[in-house]
Amino acid sequence: MKKKTFLENEYYHLFNRGIDKRMVFSTQGDFDRFKAYLYLLNDEESPRAANFFEGNRQASIYTSGRANPLIAIGAYCLMPTHFHILATPLVENGISKFMQKLLTAYTMYFNQRILRSGSLFQGTYKSQRIQNDSHLKYLYSYIHFNPAGYFHDDWQVASEADLLALERNISTYPYSSAREYFASTFVIVSPSHYPRYLARAKDIRSHLNFWIKFRDTMRETSDRGIGIL
């Protein structure tokens, strides 16, 4: 298998779904565990993540120091059957190291929880380099729009009015980075490593409008490999 190459100062869309399209997050605990791993495992010297879930230590998860992050996460969203992550490497092979730790740790947790064995995701993971600013804005909004499927069956082709009405649902979804951006409180995401237009909460509405305006054009591009689930 050809080894993935990721360049520093470039942005990447990382995504994967459950093998055979199975659910990979079926309980609140599953979502919480993967989300915690996004934070805990993003360090060259990260401890054994499972240790943080023993006894009553879980409260300390997001106060654990991270000396040398592997990647800067720009956006993420977890859905029952798949996940999306927008990332840029901070060290050589940072994305590869992080994703290996993330998916290995989560698969071990999930398999142990339901007493199964074998692969949980379709291969390692999929990746696509962000091509330009328009693509970056589109992916940023697309990732945050994913939970709209809970509230609108055809959200990808919904009207502009319907999508804007979903903004509150999107902003409060607990398993995406939208909450961090709307509150301007950054824990898992590191917007300082991205263009300034992604970090300002007041610009989120403009990003959503951008996605609505260009979604059809970008969906055609996605068929050529952008990587939309």
DSSP letter for each residue of 164-203? HHTHHHHHH-TTBTHHHHHHT--SSB-GGGS-HHHH-GGG
Chunk the chain into consecutive blocks of 10 residues (it has 229) and report each block's average pLDDT, rounded to whole numbers.
80 95 94 94 79 64 80 96 97 95 95 94 93 87 85 72 75 90 90 84 63 61 46
pLDDT of res. 207: 64
pLDDT of res. 225: 43
- Residues in the chain, total: 229
Indicate left, alpha or beta for 24 from its phi (over 0: left) and psi (-120 to 50: alpha): alpha
Residue spans of the domains in the chain: they are 12-128, 133-185+193-223
pLDDT of res. 128: 94
CA dist 179 to 74, 84, 122, 174, Å?
13, 15, 28, 7
What is the fold, at CATH topology level, of the domain defined by 12-128? Alpha-Beta Plaits (3.30.70)
pLDDT of res. 146: 87
Rounded to whole angstroms, how far apart are CA atoms 9 and 6? 9
pTM above 0.75, yes or no: yes
pLDDT of res. 187: 93
Rounded to whole angstroms, how far apart are CA atoms 127 and 111? 24
Which tokens go with 185?
A: 């409180």
